[in-house]
Structure 1
Amino acid sequence: MRILIADDYADLSSRAARIMAGQLYLKPNSVLGLATGSTPLQMYQELVRLHKEVGLDFSEATSFNLDEYLGLAPDDANSYHYYMHQHFFSHINLPQKNIHIPCGRPADIEKECLDYDRLIWQSGGIDIQVLGIGTNAHIGFNEPDIKFEATTHKVKLDEETIEANARFFAAIEEVPRFAISMGMKTIMHAKKVLLLASGENKADAIYNTLYGGITPEVPASILQLHQDVIVLLDAAAASKIRRCLDDNNQNLRS
């Protein structure tokens, strides 16, 4: 696991975009696992800039998004379909047929989940998975629980998640109570993981993820078992782990 600390959110976003661009340069037909929310937003803006200014090419790539709210249509301004097309897909040359986001209004949710995982495996698996992290350490919409959910599944959102996401809606009552999300097995099968965190409100979640026990009560802690993780933090999100990093460096010098 590599832990990188950026100066601020802008620096974090620029570094994240360079990592994603490097993946595409090395493997133009990469399968990209993508996240939504406020943290990766500027990364997408930077990738759009690289596409327009230096020709970063997405034409051979495939994408799979982590999650979607249940009950929202793709054209709903609060859906993740809308977010991704508004902020990213409509500005780059990723073919529409290669874009995959869980359906928020599936006729059969169990079939939707099975089909989504099957599509990922048929595409060769995810080459690099971008993750944000919730204040309760959820990744995707995998909330704290007594067990890890393996594959794509229906999720009941925690009140903490609902309250955190209410800022994107007109009222907290409008926030969906359920979502569809990749599970931990799906995420952990990605060849590389890029975990992004920004802001002091994520500092406890990052500390517990990196230095606590591996437990479904801290969903992101399972990433300690992944063979190739980059944790990219701004200074505020890293505030609780700096002493641990300094101690590790001191031990290495001793």
Structure 2
Amino acid sequence: MNIWTFDQEKDLNTTGAGLIAALLQSKPKAVLGLATGSSPVGIYNELIDMYRRGLVSFANASSFNLDEYVGLPVDHSESYRSFMNEKLFKHVDIKLENTHVPDGNAPDPDAECAHYEQLVNDHGPVDIQLLGIGHNGHIGFNEPGANLTGGTHVVDLKEETLKANARFFPSFDDVPKQAMTMGVASILKAKQILLVARGEDKAEIIRTALRGPITTECPASLLQCHPNVIVLLDRGAGRFM
């Protein structure tokens, strides 16, 4: 596990974008595992800038997102499909039909999860999986618990996760209570994992995940089992490393 801590946000973002761009330059048909939330936005901005400068192309790439809310209209501003369209896809040359996000409005959520898992397996393995980390150690929407589900599945979101996501919605009651997420086993199939964390409020969980015991009570700790993980931290998130 390679852990890099940066004093400047710009350096963190350019490093993350550079790793993804280098992959696309060497393997134009790369399979990208993408994430939402605040952690990857700066990296996406750098990738958009690199694309505009002619330094990288997504034309032959495909992507799979980690998760999506259950029951949120696809065109809702806070759906993860909308997030990806606005933060990356509409600004680069990736073909929208090659971008994949779970269908949170599928009539049979369990069947959709099985279909999405099969889709990832058919196109994969994912070449690089971008991850953030929740304050409770979740990756994707894999919440802490006595057990974890390996494949893509529907999850009931923990109170802590709901509170963290409430800032994106008019009220706490508007936050979706369920999500579809790739499982930890699905995530660990990626050839390389890029974990990004920012802010002092993530420092303790980063230490727990990367230096503590491997346990389902901190799903991110299972990343310690992966042979190729790069961790990008700002000075706040890396204060205990």
Partner of 2:151: 151
Partner of 2:220: 220
- TM-score scaled by length of structure 1: 0.93
Q: Which amino acid aligns with 1:119?
A: L
Alignment of 1:52 with 2:52, yes or no, is: yes
1:1-254 paired onto structure 2 within 5 Å: 1-241=1-241
Q: Which amino acid aligns with 1:83?
A: F
Structure 1: state its 5+ residue gaps: 242-254
Partners of 1:43 and 1:124 in 2: CA distance = 23
Partner of 1:248: none
Partners of 1:28 and 1:195 in 2: CA distance = 22
Q: Which amino acid aligns with 2:5?
A: I
Q: RMSD over aligned Cα, in angstroms?
A: 0.8
Structure 2: state its 5+ residue gaps: none
- How far 1:121 moved relative to its partner? 1.2
Residue 53 of structure 2: SS of its match in structure 1? helix
Q: Which amino acid aligns with 2:197?
A: A
Partners of 2:74 and 2:50 in 1: CA distance = 27
Partners of 1:141 and 1:196 in 2: CA distance = 15
Larger Rg: 1
Q: Which amino acid aligns with 1:168?
A: F
Q: Which aligned runs of 4 or more in structure 1 are off by greater than 3 angstroms?
A: none
- How far 1:53 moved relative to its partner? 1.0
Partner of 1:250: none
Partners of 2:204 and 2:8 in 1: CA distance = 18
Partners of 1:171 and 1:10 in 2: CA distance = 32
- How far 1:9 moved relative to its partner? 2.6
Partners of 1:130 and 1:181 in 2: CA distance = 14
- How far 1:50 moved relative to its partner? 0.5
- How far 1:57 moved relative to its partner? 0.5
CA deviations 1:135-171 (Å, max 9, x no partner) are 1110000011111210000011011111111111111
Partners of 1:129 and 1:81 in 2: CA distance = 17
Question: Aligned residue pairs: how many?
Answer: 241
- How far 1:11 moved relative to its partner? 2.1
